[in-house]
Structure 1
Amino acid sequence: MKSASFTQAPSAGFSLIEMVMTIAILGVMISIALPWYGKSGDEARQARDQRNAQNICSLCQAVEAAGLELVADHTSTLDIARQIAEGITIEKGVFKGRTFRIPNLGQEELEGAARFLNIHDGQVRYDMDAAQHGLTPQSSQS
């Protein structure tokens, strides 16, 4: 009579130790990478805000050249940015009927752009250093 012998088939998967080590290594890599990705997101937001501020400033200059004064007493840069985002229609002169606006700017984008704007001598100016110095949207003329 033949006796039955049991042989173990070669393991086709990973052992528990190999899986735990893989997960631990991935965890360490992710913990190192997250701060780096977070900073790039901040840099992207700052670049977006600077670009929006430059566009708003350019449009403000075009509106002022068309004969409409945007800066009044106690006007903040955020208020001017909101006006530009909503649209300003010129009512007289060569540009009569033309609407100047920057569409699709949300509140976060307007507030971010306003950090890079200031009012100087009755005009809206782009200031790339304003946000680095911790300045808030300007509400008075200098």
Structure 2
Amino acid sequence: MDSDIKQIEEFSELWHVMMKKSKFHDIEDQFPRIKGLTTTEISIISIVSKKPEVILGEICSELDIPKSTLTSAIDRLEKREYINRVISKRDRRSYGLELTEEGLLAQKEHIDFEYKIYGKILKSLTSYDERAELIRLLKTIVTNID
């Protein structure tokens, strides 16, 4: 048990140092359209960008969130003029979402932000094999985390 606590503390310390050294917040400041958005809001924009015909129920399922959480997030995104609710062309009984011009720009910023921050982290590893090992370990975490 003590070794688990020690590993958690070491992981926490390394994680925070990595975030500080990567200048995460400085990079975030370069992308004003996504600054202040929640993970859920960014995920909604990303899903709508990749699947323009998606309906609200499918977004709830994909994000594993209740409809009330989705509705609140959509309300905030509409207020920022990033998305509009529309009647689904695929299922007229359901609503879908469409990205506005600002929403499209926010999605572009989101992609640029990820490339910048993840690229910086991956470039800190000196070889392809090290990067592949990190990705392999992250896949293991994703598979086993609950």
Structures share a fold, TM > 0.5?
no
Q: Tell me the TM-score normalized by structure 1.
A: 0.26
Q: Where is the helix percentage greater, Structure 1 or Structure 2? A: 2
